[in-house]
Structure 1
């Protein structure tokens, strides 16, 4: 192999190696910031769990409380909550590192479009968590604690409760990103505003199916997730109309559809009969 070929292969390998080195460095930054936030929050681990369990404990019957059915639960449940809370708190920094890694590969107009989307995605993620805590939890726990038999005391295990609420936090945090996902589909050309509007009925059905899969098996939590999903989808369409200009092909397609519709409206059976008679004479 000639020296020139070796040099060309080396030039091709360097960009990949440099990207991997940068990715490793940014992952180390992410882990360090999560670890730092975790150390700062761990002292308040029990207080965090008390605050998280307030929507349920406020509705428990008098004389009952949450329980720990596992020996290690009193330690590992607050520990797990603190770790997840550290990730949630560090989410802006994590997304910033992701943005710093992919930004060099974007064009200038793409960067101008991506920065507001990044900030909006952070806000919507936290908004989904807040909606779950302040709106969904009181309704769900109020329903669950009121429908049980009178001779059964509601005493929830702390680990089961934590897994339940974290699942809902994650579900609502992701669901509230629907406007961003819808806007990206329209902006990238993978979908159009008209096409998404035509598929609205399928989207509504899909929202309730996802609500059934992502939430506990009850109608209340399913509806509380499905309805915001649908409204956020509509918000994404509105954002697509405002911020994404239709292409020339889409405008021509809309014009052709309107012309065909007008032709169909002006078309009568008498014209059809006359046209058929002329064809027979010919």
Structure 2
């Protein structure tokens, strides 16, 4: 297609993405307060002596659940968003690339959600348990609802993206940018990089850093394995038609 047709199709798919996110937001917003209570439960149940969370800004009780509903709407719409991306790039792929692209697309959605669930069920209880137990005696912990939401959304995003490492590894291998053998040889550097990234994306405690770095390294190893399998599937061919 000529360039203008590509741009028109891109605009159409972007509008569909925005509409899908808006529909999800309309469906989620009536339950925003209940969802905020669910998201904050890992911290609230660890606060001692009947302590609770507070709102230091007069608008926080409204905007914190609203922001959560907006982010959750995008999270829920991710499968449809990735489908639109797939539909836009699919005409430029070879048939063997299309056979691999859809499984990669599906797996990327599952891994992103798995990263968020892992953060909620495993990381949050350990991290919040650490923070609530390490404080000086006589200090009353009253977390602010807006700062808490910012923290957990950052953690959700960090773990969701980190769990995409196998997909990124396979794509690098299929594009010809690297090989499974070359990635295996760089394993010590990758392990160090995982801990550096974990240090940058998580709070300054060894628990959350390790809980992000170790899964990243394990997922990198899975990416190498799946990259070898993908190379066999494609017969070692890479690249595509624009």
Q: TM-score range by the shorter chain?
A: over 0.9
Q: Match of 1:157?
A: 144
- SS class of match (1:153): coil
- SS class of match (1:169): helix
Q: Match of 2:85?
A: 98
- Return the structure number with greater relative CO, CA threshold 8 A, min gap 6: 2
Q: Match of 1:225?
A: 212
Structure 2: how far apart are the matches of 1:105 and 1:183? Answer: 19
The gaps in structure 2 that reach 5 residues or longer are 238-242
Structure 1: how far apart are the matches of 2:93 and 2:70? Answer: 33
The gaps in structure 1 that reach 5 residues or longer are 1-13, 249-282
Structure 2: how far apart are the matches of 1:137 and 1:247? Answer: 42
Give 1:247 deviation, angstroms: 5.0
In structure 2, do the counterparts of structure 1 residues 198 and 61 end up closer, same or farther at CA, with 3 Å as the change threshold? same
Q: Match of 1:216?
A: 203
Q: Match of 2:186?
A: 199
Aligned residues: 235
Q: Tell me if the contact between 2:100 and 2:230 (Cα under 8 Å) persists in the aligned partners.
A: no
- SS class of match (1:90): helix
Q: Match of 1:63?
A: 50
Q: Match of 1:269?
A: none
Q: Match of 1:255?
A: none
Structure 2: how far apart are the matches of 1:98 and 1:187? Answer: 19
Structure 1: how far apart are the matches of 2:177 and 2:19? Answer: 37
- SS class of match (1:56): helix
Alpha-carbon displacement from aligned partner over 1:17-44 (angstroms, at most 9, x marks no partner): 1111111111111111111110111110
Give 1:216 deviation, angstroms: 0.9
TM-score when scaled to structure 1? 0.81
Deviates more, 1:178-187 or 1:42-51: 178-187
Of 79, 91, 94, which aligns to 2:66? 79
- SS class of match (1:66): coil
Runs of 4+ in structure 1 off by over 4 angstroms are none
Structure 2: how far apart are the matches of 1:130 and 1:182? Answer: 22
Give 1:198 deviation, angstroms: 0.8
Larger Rg: 1
Structure 2: how far apart are the matches of 1:17 and 1:116? Answer: 30
Q: Match of 1:275?
A: none
Of 13, 16, 21, which aligns to 2:8? 21
Structure 2: how far apart are the matches of 1:238 and 1:125? Answer: 19
Structure 2: how far apart are the matches of 1:187 and 1:34? Answer: 31
Of 226, 235, 242, which aligns to 1:239? 226
Q: Match of 1:187?
A: 174
Alpha-carbon displacement from aligned partner over 1:106-153 (angstroms, at most 9, x marks no partner): 111111110100000000000000000000000000000001112001
